[in-house]
């Protein structure tokens, strides 16, 4: 059993988690005094708690999956990906899990917060935070990417289709780079066509010089 969750049932702290075959199971630590005592005393209340836990497997599965939901189900892409990247069947399954968790007696506040967010996103009631402000460098790079092809054509017309370093023209190997990468601008006077071979050699030389 990889990851386990602890829940309180009838006063007993019990653990459950995903087994290696994918199913859910109850984990019993026989070395734990709080577990050994009711087992040795054949406490019917303890065994009833285990029975109750085994009878709510669907609820347990929903509570279990709330932990790390964004990481495992949204893969860290944020809540917008719940709508963008998951089909209707998946969204309905997540919504069903969320409803179960909100009415669960064993879910904690963090579980219920995640469940409520799922419902809000899928119902269109979630207010997404504004995107982070881009730096001047990021804005300049985005503007450059939008007009890259036009800039390349302009450079070819003005200077010819050749590497600015070796002056060779190799089809599909010439790309636009900044003459001085330390200067954070993408204006045409700081852009050149350069082949991949020269680009690699110049960058390696710059790194070697910087290391000295």
Q: What is the pLDDT of residues 42-61, one digit of tens each?
A: 999 989 988 888 888 889 88
pLDDT digits (tens, 9 = 90+) for 159-170: 999 999 999 887
CA–CA distance, 47 with 36 (Å, rounded to integer): 12
Partners of residue 8 on adjacent β-strands? 13
Phi, psi (deg, nearest 5) at residue 41: -85, 0
Q: What is the chain's mean pLDDT, rounded?
A: 88
Judged against a pLDDT cut of 60, whether residue 1 lies above it is answered with no
pLDDT band at 37 (very low <50, low <70, confident <90, very high): confident
- Residue 89 CB-half CA count within 13 A: 0
In sequence order, what DSSP letters do the residues of 85-132 get, joined into one string?
Answer: SS-HHHHHHHHHHHHHHHT-SS--HHHHHHHHHHHHHHHT---PPPPP
Residue 10: pLDDT above 70?
A: yes
Bridge partners, residue 5, by sequence: 16
3-state secondary structure of 68: coil
- pLDDT tens by residue, 57-96: 889 889 988 988 988 899 988 999 999 999 999 999 999 9
Q: Are 177 and 199 in contact, with CB atoms under 8 Å apart?
A: yes
Q: Which residues lie below 8 Å from residue 14, measured CB to CB, with a gap of 6+?
A: 6, 7, 8, 26, 49, 50, 53
What distance in Å separates the CA atoms of residue 163 and residue 135, rounded to the nearest whole number?
31
What per-residue confidence (pLDDT) applies to 118?
Answer: 97
Q: What is the pLDDT of residue 97?
A: 96
The pLDDT score that the predictor gives to residue 64 is 87
Q: What's the pLDDT score for residue 3?
A: 66
């Amino acid at each position: 059993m990889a990851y386990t969750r602890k829940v309180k049932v009838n006063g007993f702290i019990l653990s459950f988690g995903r087994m290696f075959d994918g199913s859910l199971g109850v984990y019993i630590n026989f070395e734990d005094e709080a577990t050994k005592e009711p087992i040795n005393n054949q406490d019917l209340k303890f065994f009833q708690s285990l029975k109750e836990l085994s009878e709510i497997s669907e609820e347990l599965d929903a509570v279990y999956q709330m932990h790390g939901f964004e990481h495992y189900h949204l893969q860290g892409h944020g809540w917008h990906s719940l709508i963008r990247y998951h089909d209707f069947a998946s969204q309905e399954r997540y919504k069903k899990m969320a409803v179960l968790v909100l009415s669960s007696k064993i879910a904690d506040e963090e579980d219920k917060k995640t469940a409520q967010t799922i419902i809000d996103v899928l119902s269109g009631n979630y207010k997404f935070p504004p995107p982070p402000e881009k730096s001047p460098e990021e804005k300049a790079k985005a503007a450059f990417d939008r007009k890259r092809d036009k800039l390349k054509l302009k450079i070819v017309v003005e200077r010819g289709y050749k590497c600015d370093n070796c002056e060779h023209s190799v089809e599909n190997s010439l790309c636009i780079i900044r003459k001085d990468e330390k200067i954070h601008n993408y204006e045409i006077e700081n852009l050149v066509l350069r082949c991949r071979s020269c680009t690699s050699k110049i960058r390696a030389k710059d790194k070697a010089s910087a290391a000295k």
